[in-house]
């Protein structure tokens, strides 16, 4: 049965459904109410143009050229020139997934009906999205305050048949790609070029994918930590619900509950119930406090982002009741710049504490396990260098976590004199999260190796399932092998949909 189109209203996108739409290549269409709002807004713009009113970006130039009046006969040239001149991006191309999400978010913003564009333009964007075309968008060039001007201009190039785009991983000139999909390039009318490029959609797209992945990482950190705790024969007492409730941060309570569920029924834990160990190192004992604080940060960032992706972010905005065009700054990326820096800092902490658990697993004097988890240590180096890799990634994240949002460089001859740098902070957050994926993969690899030495004792309900799921395809390392390949295999496995499902089928739903 064919999947129904997702109806775009301008107000109904979330992190989850946005990622799902792009991930599953779901088709979209405009809701009836959005179509009506777009039509009403456009009629008003055309009425003002007929009166020859002075409206920024419609009958004037842009930025520092705000005072230059443009005649009606040059309207189309003005909008086309805007896209061409602002397509000044450089650097690596933005990942395909992010570009598709940028287009989705741009459509959703226009669907609110405050941008004054023709319905024809928005329908054109919907056809592009549904066709699977992917504009080639360089990642560098936005200062994140008149929106993501350069990246969105490269996105808009494809709309008018300029620039390049991708079909099935092959790059074509946009006019050729559009022809292959039976789409005719559109000639932009008054306000439309500006409406396409004033907005925060690049920042939003990077952040949406990052927050989605960070939510998974926050649960995965609890899973990795539970494996490490059992491999190191740590105590579960610090995860007591009673303890958490006297410091009732939501994330802390959730993380402690996850750990209790994952480790419930652990034979390893029972085997050392009466040992002399008073308490564990912070990287084990304080998992609820650290992992939980990250969960709370992710939740905060998600709330801000979901407001943003359902907002009108171009300039000027058109209001029909009462009739008014308002020039403002809804394109300024400050809300996103701040949360992108916050998200990067928070998620990097999951990597930092994970690397410390990995280091303990490999240090025989701390773990009580074979040094570097090696059979025949000396002849074999075991997983010694896996920790080096984790340490290198943690150190790289420290550099990436320097906030971009505290910087500002004026542009447009000081007309745009405070910029958010949110595009930079959102790209950095994306990189940090990808690094943490690798760090956690290394911990899981090492923790599983550690648990091997404690067999036949079994881990808890959820952690044992994680161990078994991994061991179906990644076996105990009995002799030195290509460690990189082992790490990459583990990373692939722990990010499979089936991995989390298998664990939760035993432990119960994780928060």
Query: For residues 319 and 334, is the Cβ–Cβ distance under 8 A?
Result: no
Residue 250 placed within a domain = yes
As a three-state string, the secondary structure of 15-40 is HHHHHHHHHCCCCEEECHHHHHHHHH
Q: What's the average model confidence in pLDDT over 165-189?
A: 96
Instruction: Specify the pLDDT at position 408.
Output: 87
pTM for the full predicted model: 0.95
Instruction: Specify the pLDDT at position 60.
Output: 75
Q: Are residues 263 and 339 in the same domain?
A: yes
Q: Are residues 297 and 444 in the same domain?
A: yes
Q: Are residues 278 and 190 in the same domain?
A: no
Instruction: Specify the pLDDT at position 64.
Output: 62
Domain boundary, last residue among 148, 182, 199: 199
Q: Are residues 134 and 238 in the same domain?
A: no
Catalytic residue among 56, 282, 453, 469: 56
The per-residue pLDDT of the chain, averaged, comes to: 94
User: 13 pLDDT exceeds 60?
Assistant: yes
φ/ψ of 28, rounded to 5, equals -125, 160
Instruction: Specify the pLDDT at position 57.
Output: 72
* Rounded-to-integer distance, Cα 188 and Cα 117, Å: 9
> For residue 58, what pLDDT band results from cuts at 50, 70 and 90?
confident
User: 1 pLDDT exceeds 60?
Assistant: no
CATH of the domain at 170: 1.10.275.10
- What tens digit of pLDDT does each residue of 17-38 get? 999 999 999 999 999 999 999 9
- What tens digit of pLDDT does each residue of 386-418 get? 999 999 999 999 999 999 999 988 888 787 878
Query: For residues 111 and 30, is the Cβ–Cβ distance under 8 A?
Result: yes
User: 59 pLDDT exceeds 70?
Assistant: yes
**Residues facing 93 on adjacent strands:** 138
* Rounded-to-integer distance, Cα 5 and Cα 133, Å: 17
Token pair listed for 94: 């933005």
* Rounded-to-integer distance, Cα 498 and Cα 489, Å: 15
Residue 95 placed within a domain = yes
Q: Are residues 21 and 51 in the same domain?
A: yes
- What tens digit of pLDDT does each residue of 333-390 get? 999 999 999 999 999 999 999 999 999 999 999 999 999 999 999 999 999 999 999 9
Q: Are residues 336 and 187 in the same domain?
A: no
Q: Are residues 152 and 102 in the same domain?
A: yes
Q: Is 383 or 61 the better-scoring residue by pLDDT?
A: 383
Which residues span the domain enclosing 233?
206-507
Token pair listed for 213: 């992945």
> For residue 48, what pLDDT band results from cuts at 50, 70 and 90?
confident
Q: How many C-beta atoms surround the C-beta of residue 296 within 10 A? A: 17
Q: Are residues 235 and 123 in the same domain?
A: no
335: nearest Cα among 301, 294, 358: 301
Domain boundary, last residue among 161, 176, 199: 199
**Residues facing 416 on adjacent strands:** 411
Is there a catalytic annotation at residue 56? yes
Q: Are residues 114 and 217 in the same domain?
A: no
* Rounded-to-integer distance, Cα 96 and Cα 112, Å: 25
User: 65 pLDDT exceeds 90?
Assistant: no
User: 268 pLDDT exceeds 70?
Assistant: yes
State what percent of residues in the chain have pLDDT above 70. 97
Instruction: Specify the pLDDT at position 66.
Output: 66
Q: Could you tell me whether strands 164-167 and 317-320 are parallel, antiparallel, or unpaired per DSSP bridges?
A: unpaired
Residue 268 placed within a domain = yes
Q: Which of 48-57, 100-109, 204-213, 387-396 has the lowest mean pLDDT?
A: 48-57
Q: Are residues 297 and 429 in the same domain?
A: yes
The domain total for the chain is 2
Residue 51 placed within a domain = yes
State what percent of residues in the chain have pLDDT above 90. 84
> For residue 310, what pLDDT band results from cuts at 50, 70 and 90?
very high
30: nearest Cα among 100, 152, 129: 129
Residue 1 placed within a domain = no
Residue for token pair 């906030």? 403
> For residue 63, what pLDDT band results from cuts at 50, 70 and 90?
low
CATH of the domain at 397: 1.20.200.10
Domain boundary, last residue among 168, 199, 230: 199
User: 464 pLDDT exceeds 70?
Assistant: yes
389-404 CB burial, b ≥16 within 10 A, e <16: bbbebbeebeebbebb
Q: What's the average model confidence in pLDDT over 188-212?
A: 95
Q: Are residues 67 and 85 in the same domain?
A: yes
Q: Are residues 289 and 426 in the same domain?
A: yes
Q: How many C-beta atoms surround the C-beta of residue 3 within 10 A? A: 9
Residue 59 placed within a domain = yes
Grouping H, G, I as helix, E, B as strand and the rest as coil, residue 8 is strand
Residue 441 placed within a domain = yes
Residue 366 placed within a domain = yes
CA–centroid distance for 469 within its chain? 27
């Amino acid at each position: 049965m064919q999947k129904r189109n997702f109806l775009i209203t301008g107000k109904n996108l979330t992190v989850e459904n946005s990622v799902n739409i792009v991930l599953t290549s779901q088709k979209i269409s405009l809701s009836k109410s959005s179509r009506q709002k777009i039509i009403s807004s456009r009629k008003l713009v055309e009425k003002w143009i007929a009166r020859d009113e002075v409206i920024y970006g419609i009958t004037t130039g842009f930025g520092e050229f705000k005072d230059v009046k443009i005649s009606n006969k040059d309207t189309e040239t003005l909008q086309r020139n805007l896209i061409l001149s602002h397509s000044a991006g450089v650097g690596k191309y933005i990942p395909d997934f992010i570009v598709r999400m940028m287009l989705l978010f741009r459509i959703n913003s226009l669907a609110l009906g405050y941008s004054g564009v023709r319905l024809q333009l928005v329908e054109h964007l919907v056809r592009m999205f549904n066709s699977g075309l992917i504009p080639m968008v360089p990642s560098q060039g936005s200062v994140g305050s008149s929106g993501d001007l350069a990246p969105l201009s490269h996105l808009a190039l494809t709309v008018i048949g300029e620039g390049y785009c991708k079909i099935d991983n092959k790059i074509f000139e946009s006019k050729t790609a559009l022809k292959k999909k039976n789409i005719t390039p559109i000639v932009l009318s008054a306000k439309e070029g500006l409406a396409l490029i004033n907005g925060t959609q690049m920042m939003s797209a990077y952040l949406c994918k990052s927050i989605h992945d960070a939510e998974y990482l926050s649960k995965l950190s609890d899973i990795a930590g539970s494996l490490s705790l059992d491999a190191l024969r740590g105590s579960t007492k610090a995860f007591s619900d009673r303890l958490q409730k006297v410091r009732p941060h939501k994330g802390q309570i959730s993380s402690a509950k996850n750990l209790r569920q994952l480790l419930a029924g652990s034979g390893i834990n029972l085997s050392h119930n009466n040992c002399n160990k008073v308490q564990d190192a912070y990287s084990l004992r304080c998992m609820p406090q650290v992992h939980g604080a990250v969960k709370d940060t992710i939740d905060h960032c998600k709330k801000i982002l979901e407001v943003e992706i359902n907002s009108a972010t171009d300039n000027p905005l058109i209001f029909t009741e009462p009739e008014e065009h308002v020039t403002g700054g809804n394109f300024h990326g400050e809300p996103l710049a701040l949360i992108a820096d916050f998200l990067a800092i928070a998620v990097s902490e999951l990597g930092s504490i994970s690397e410390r658990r990995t280091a303990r697993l490999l240090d025989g004097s701390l773990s009580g396990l074979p040094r570097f988890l090696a059979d025949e240590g000396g002849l074999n180096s075991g997983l010694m260098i896996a920790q080096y890799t984790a340490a290198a990634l943690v150190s790289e994240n420290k550099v990436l976590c320097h906030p971009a949002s505290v910087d500002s460089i004026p542009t447009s001859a000081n007309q745009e004199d405070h910029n958010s740098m949110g595009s930079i902070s959102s790209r950095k957050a994306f990189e940090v999260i990808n690094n943490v994926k690798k760090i956690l993969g290394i911990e899981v690899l090492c923790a599983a190796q550690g648990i091997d030495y404690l067999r036949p004792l079994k881990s808890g309900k959820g952690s044992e399932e994680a161990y078994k799921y991994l061991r179906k395809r990644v076996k105990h390392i009995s002799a030195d092998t290509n460690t990189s390949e082992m790490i990459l295999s583990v990373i692939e496995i722990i990010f499979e949909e089936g991995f989390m499902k298998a664990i939760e089928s035993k432990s119960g739903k994780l928060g």
